């Protein structure tokens, strides 16, 4: 067969204004250079004119070089694995050595995509090689040229990852930053360098950044503790959240982040489009569905309905959707057909049937109705991914508050959604549709649902929605923060 060589005539549009390199072949991963033709050109310029900064592009290029230099199969990688197996030596100032970050993946696909972007940005900031778990392989193409971002499995001859099942790490793990700080194993010396008060130093640190994390775990968001873990050859990171607003709140990262993102509220838009490229079978499903149902429309309206606690359909949620669409005049009633196509995504088909009855059968579409959320189901992951990408091609988006599925769609598409607040999680059938039923998002950024409220400088809890002007509390989760 013919080698999959990079196309020679890629345009700036196809390369997403330089976010992507032209080093990849296109047959093995069609989505990479085709994404733009389903997004930018058709989209109102207003939301997609954001160009990545030259500084961000430079950082991405040097990070690609790092991934290639340190990735699986290289001598530094083998050396780092050997050190991990030997079980000693944590802090190293030797700049020759490569350092690694392994995000531990759990929860639904939207959550996993947000945490992967967060880990990636943290890896760029701290010059670590990002290695992800294998569930990503079936869904996404490789983001970095001439290397792999997949963590070699433990059985792999020679260079296998020795820590085994990453699921075992949790808040009680003694290797966690929080528990080591609590046990005083880890402290910062007068010179600001990390030191260990114990002789047996683990070769890795586990970062427990899960929603239910404790005081000591939250010190991850302080400069002092960042200095401490800087030299650790391996970091494991457990989170299901979009940590980026939290990274902006760490003073030693802020200057760098502000240079990378002069327009701060498109961080996910850039990083998500850089990192994620659906694998060919997923992309085929996206483009086929798009061509069949959405391509001809003058306007595409995406409605994403995610109900968290109930599997049975809720009339109240339907009322809220219809009330939002009517109030904001997002669609004309069926008799006055305008040239719009409606894409409904939901685990249930009930909402779709009702919306179809209201707005006319031929222009309302739902790609799948899976019934319930299945954990770690490859087929459902692929459907979910293709639906997030289909939603991201829309011109208008109505989303369910608190859903990371919706965050990914709006972020990839650069679309300011109409968010329907979930009050609280629609847990009961009683109660009324909120007034207003939906509101325009402040920005296309995802909400960080579990920020640390600890003010490192103040040494007490603070209101993290007021520390910098561009980080505010979220529309759909008052305790969360987002860049806006």
Residues that bind ligand GDP (CB under 6 A): 107-111, 306, 345-347, 368, 370, 373, 380, 383-384, 387, 403-405
Q: Which two tokens stand for residue 379?
A: 């087929």
Q: Angle CA(178)–CA(183)–CA(184) in degrees, nearest 5?
A: 95
Q: Which two tokens stand for residue 181?
A: 């700080």
Please state the closest distance from residue 303 (CB atom) to ligand GDP, in A. 10
Rounded to whole angstroms, the Cα distance separating 419 from 433 reads 13
Please state the closest distance from residue 367 (CB atom) to ligand GDP, in A. 7
Rounded to whole angstroms, the Cα distance separating 325 from 346 reads 17
CB closer to ligand GDP out of 179 and 366: 366
CB closer to ligand GDP out of 110 and 143: 110
Eight-class DSSP state of 293: I
Please state the closest distance from residue 345 (CB atom) to ligand GDP, in A. 4
Q: Angle CA(228)–CA(232)–CA(238) in degrees, nearest 5?
A: 90
CB closer to ligand GDP out of 229 and 275: 275
Please state the closest distance from residue 375 (CB atom) to ligand GDP, in A. 8
CA–chain centroid gap for 440, Å, is: 21
> Residue 181: in which H helix or E strand, if any?
helix 177-182
Please state the closest distance from residue 343 (CB atom) to ligand GDP, in A. 10
CB closer to ligand GDP out of 234 and 407: 407
Please state the closest distance from residue 410 (CB atom) to ligand GDP, in A. 12
CB closer to ligand GDP out of 110 and 414: 110
Q: Which of 59, 405, 117 is CA-nearest to residue 246?
A: 117
* CB of 23 closer than 8 Å to CB of 142: no
CB closer to ligand GDP out of 342 and 456: 342
Rounded to whole angstroms, the Cα distance separating 349 from 144 reads 38
Eight-class DSSP state of 179: H
Please state the closest distance from residue 450 (CB atom) to ligand GDP, in A. 13
CB closer to ligand GDP out of 361 and 371: 371
Could you count the other beta carbons within 10 Å of the beta carbon of residue 155?
Answer: 7
């Amino acid at each position: 067969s013919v080698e999959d060589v990079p196309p020679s005539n890629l345009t700036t549009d196809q390369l997403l204004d330089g976010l992507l390199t032209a080093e990849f072949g296109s047959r093995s991963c069609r989505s990479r250079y085709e994404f733009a033709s389903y997004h930018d050109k058709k989209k109102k310029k207003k939301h997609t004119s954001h160009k990545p900064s030259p500084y961000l592009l430079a950082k991405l290029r040097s990070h690609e070089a790092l991934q290639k230099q340190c990735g699986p199969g290289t001598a530094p990688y083998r050396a780092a694995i050997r050190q991990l197996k030997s079980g000693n030596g944590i802090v190293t100032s030797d700049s020759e050595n490569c350092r690694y970050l392994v995000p531990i993946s759990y929860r639904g696909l939207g959550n996993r995509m947000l945490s992967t972007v967060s880990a990636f940005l943290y890896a760029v900031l701290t010059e670590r090689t990002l290695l992800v778990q294998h569930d990503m392989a079936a869904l996404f193409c490789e983001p970095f040229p001439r290397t792999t971002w997949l963590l070699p499995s433990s059985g792999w001859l020679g260079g296998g990852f020795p820590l085994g099942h990453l699921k075992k790490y949790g808040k009680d793990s003694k290797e966690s930053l929080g528990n080591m700080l609590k046990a005083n194993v880890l402290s910062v010396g007068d010179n600001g360098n990390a030191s260990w008060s114990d002789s047996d130093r683990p070769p890795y640190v586990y970062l427990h950044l899960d929603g239910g994390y404790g005081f000591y775990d939250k010190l991850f968001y302080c400069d002092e503790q960042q200095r401490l873990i800087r030299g650790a050859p391996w970091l494991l990171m457990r989170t299901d959240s979009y940590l980026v607003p939290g990274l902006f709140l760490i003073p030693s990262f802020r200057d760098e982040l502000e240079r990378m993102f002069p327009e701060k509220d498109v961080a996910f838009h850039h990083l998500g489009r850089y990192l994620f490229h659906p694998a060919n079978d997923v992309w085929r499903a996206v483009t086929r569905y798009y061509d069949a149902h959405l391509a001809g429309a003058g306007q595409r309206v995406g409605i994403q309905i995610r109900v968290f606690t109930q599997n049975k359909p809720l009339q109240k949620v339907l009322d809220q959707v219809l009330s939002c669409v009517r109030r904001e005049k997002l669609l004309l009633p069926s008799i006055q057909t305008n040239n719009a196509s409606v894409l409904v995504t939901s685990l249930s088909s009930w909402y779709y049937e009702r919306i179809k009855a209201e707005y006319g059968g031929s222009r309302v579409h739902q790609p799948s109705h899976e019934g319930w959320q299945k954990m770690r189901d490859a087929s459902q992951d692929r459907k979910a991914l293709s639906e997030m990408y289909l939603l991201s091609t829309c011109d208008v988006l109505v989303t369910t508050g608190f859903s990371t599925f919706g965050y990914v769609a709006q972020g990839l598409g650069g679309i300011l959604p109409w968010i329907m607040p979930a009050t609280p999680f629609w847990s009961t059938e009683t109660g009324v549709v909120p007034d207003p039923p939906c509101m325009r998002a402040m920005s296309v950024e995802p909400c960080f649902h579990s920020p640390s409220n600890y003010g490192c400088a103040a040494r007490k809890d603070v209101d993290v929605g007021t520390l910098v002007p561009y980080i505010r509390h979220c529309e759909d989760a008052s305790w969360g923060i987002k860049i806006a």
